[in-house]
A and B are shown apart, each in its own frame.
Chain A
Amino acid sequence: KNQVEQSPQSLIILEGKNCTLQCNYTVSPFSNLRWYKQDTGRGPVSLTIMTFSENTKSNGRYTATLDADTKQSSLHITASQLSDSASYICVVSAASVTSGTYKYIFGTGTRLKVLA
């Protein structure tokens, strides 16, 4: 069964500190993995995409890693800011050329709160 699990469920950190969010998945056939940020009252927005061959990718203070062997990804936030307070959702895409299907499997998200 395709599944995406995220941890922790919620996290509170002080402004300026770093943090790491985890995503474990069992999705087949794996196409790519994306991290989305969802601010309160807004729709999710893509932060970064990881394909099978990529190990790490950065987007400003956000750095995503992917270990395709262990099927784990992490999102590291450096020098957190108040505006980083949001939910972070890991989404894994499963694409099958033979069946012509493309699916998104969503994680349950991590709620991050950054305090001043």
Chain B
Amino acid sequence: DTAVSQTPKYLVTQMGNDKSIKCEQNLGHDTMYWYKQDSKKFLKIMFSYNNKELIINETVPNRFSPKSPDKAHLNLHINSLELGDSAVYFCASSQILLGTGELFFGEGSRLTVL
């Protein structure tokens, strides 16, 4: 059973479109994250949710809107896609309260904006 699963794995779309990436974790963790990995392979935090509440919102354009319907899900919606949004987006989860804090990552969603 996959611990952190995200869909779709690949996404190719035109500039200006709106797209969503879904993420689910079955580890019972209290915190979920979205990271962006650019062409230089650096992982940059975008958002963090703890028990469905937003706790980290880095300087990400407001075209990106995370939604956490429950503790196990954190979806990422992107409006008006731009060329610079092309990257691999990783969902992750960890247990912060009384946990190890180890990050568990999904397999990534490669977004290509044409």
For A, the interface residue count at a CB cutoff of 8 angstroms equals 24
Which residues of B approach A to under 8 Å, CB–CB? Answer: 4, 31, 40-45, 56, 90, 92, 96, 100-103, 105-108
Q: Is the interface of A mostly helix, strand, loop or mixed?
A: strand
* Chain B residues within 8 Å of A38, by CB: 41
Find chain A residues with CB under 8 A from B42 CB: 106, 108-109
| Residues of chain B with a CB closer than 8 A to A95's CB | 101
Enumerate chain A interface residues (CB-CB to B < 8 A).
Answer: 31-32, 34, 36, 38, 41-46, 49, 87, 89, 91, 93, 95, 102-104, 106, 108-109, 111
Whether B45 contacts A42 by the Cβ 8 Å rule is no
Binding site secondary structure of chain B = loop
**Does the CB pair B41–A111 fall under 8 Å?**
yes
Q: How far is the CB of B35 from chain A (nearest CB, A)?
A: 8
Whole-angstrom distance from the CB of A49 to the nearest CB of chain B? 7
Check A104 against B107 for contact (C-beta < 8 Å): no
User: Which of B31, B44, B96, B101 has the most CB atoms of chain A within a 10 A radius of its CB?
Assistant: B101
| A93 contacts B101, C-beta separation under 8 Å | yes
* Contact residue among A34, A43, A49, A89 (Cβ-Cβ distance under 8 Å from B107): A43
Looking across the interface, which residue of chain A has its beta carbon closest to that of B105?
A43
